[in-house]
Structure 1
Amino acid sequence: MSNYTKILIAIDLSEESLQVVNRGCAMAAEKAAEVHLIHVIEPLSFAYGGDIPMDFSGIQEEISDQARAQLAKVGTDYSVDGANQHTVFGRPEVEIHQMAEELGSDLIVVGSHGRYGLALLMGSTANGVLHGASCDVLAVRVGT
């Protein structure tokens, strides 16, 4: 196993994502690696394709505030410094790759639900992260 020095843990802030944080932090402790947490918020306009003539800025800001608060709690619970907690907007796989590059991460840890059938064909965040990463990716099976 590589000697990882900087680990980026990507979480969706669900209860299951704590399994991902546990695994990533355990690996970091073994290797004395620096830990960063990232949560990516998909803009509401992505979900609705801009077809609804509404101003989502207030709702988006509230979602962002709640996500930052939840990420801060996870960071506190796992002793991850506030400067190493990142809440960003965009497509998860794109933003995770970009953050890993910016930080010089040598490992990305993501959760995987082990989807099959139609869900697998449509893809997942873990799959997107795996196929575009310039560093190692650990997919932690969650929800089992």
Structure 2
Amino acid sequence: MNDYIRSYEHILLAVDLTEEADLVGQKAATIASNSGASLSVIHVIEPLSFAYGGDVPMDLSNIQSQLEEHAQTRLESFASHMKVKPSELIVATGHTETEIHRHAEKLGCDLIVVGSHGRHGFALLLGSTSNSVLHGAKCDVLAVHVGSDS
């Protein structure tokens, strides 16, 4: 029976840095601590050009750099109470699901932890980040329910 139960070795916690991320972070840190796993934390920023369809008449690279620096500072603050090495904090730029999958593979993670609002109806049909992460991952995914049920 123990052959089927194994501890995780490397966990990737994907956060959006909202207030709800604390709950998700606590769960991931507890799992990492209980299993002796290393913990990495990723926050993904979508490029500004995605929001504007890539058709922007100005250079957004300075603004994008500022967003990345701000995200790095917020991520460091978020992870300050967890035992996560600064080298394990990742701010990535790109499509959220793609970057989470890419970094999970690159780091050899065997568990990805994400928050989920548990949406229903049209919101579920339209998809969510946690759902996309779940269906594209090559490792286990834990979706931690956050937010209200209303």
* Residues in 2 aligned to 1:121 and 1:53: alpha-carbon distance in whole angstroms: 34
Query: 1:25 — aligned with what?
Result: 29
| TM-score, length of structure 1 as denominator length | 0.95
Q: Which runs of 4+ in 1 moved over 2 A?
A: none
* Residues in 2 aligned to 1:140 and 1:90: alpha-carbon distance in whole angstroms: 23
* Residues in 2 aligned to 1:103 and 1:40: alpha-carbon distance in whole angstroms: 16
| TM-score, length of structure 2 as denominator length | 0.92
Query: 1:72 — aligned with what?
Result: 76
Query: 1:56 — aligned with what?
Result: 60
2:109 aligned with 1:96: no
Query: 2:87 — aligned with what?
Result: 83
* Residues in 2 aligned to 1:48 and 1:94: alpha-carbon distance in whole angstroms: 19
* Residues in 2 aligned to 1:115 and 1:30: alpha-carbon distance in whole angstroms: 30
Rg comparison, structure with higher value: 2
* Residues in 1 aligned to 2:10 and 2:83: alpha-carbon distance in whole angstroms: 15
1:126 CA drift (Å): 0.3
Query: 1:123 — aligned with what?
Result: 127
RMSD: 1.1
- Structure 1, unaligned runs of 5 or more: none
Q: How many residues align?
A: 144
Q: SS state of the match for residue 77, structure 1?
A: coil
* Residues in 1 aligned to 2:140 and 2:90: alpha-carbon distance in whole angstroms: 20
* Residues in 1 aligned to 2:54 and 2:9: alpha-carbon distance in whole angstroms: 41
Q: Percent identity?
A: 51
- Structure 2, unaligned runs of 5 or more: none
1:107 to 100, 104, 111: 111
* Residues in 2 aligned to 1:14 and 1:91: alpha-carbon distance in whole angstroms: 18
* Residues in 2 aligned to 1:119 and 1:56: alpha-carbon distance in whole angstroms: 31
Amino acid at match of 1:14: T
1:58 CA drift (Å): 1.9
* Residues in 2 aligned to 1:26 and 1:68: alpha-carbon distance in whole angstroms: 23
Query: 2:41 — aligned with what?
Result: 37
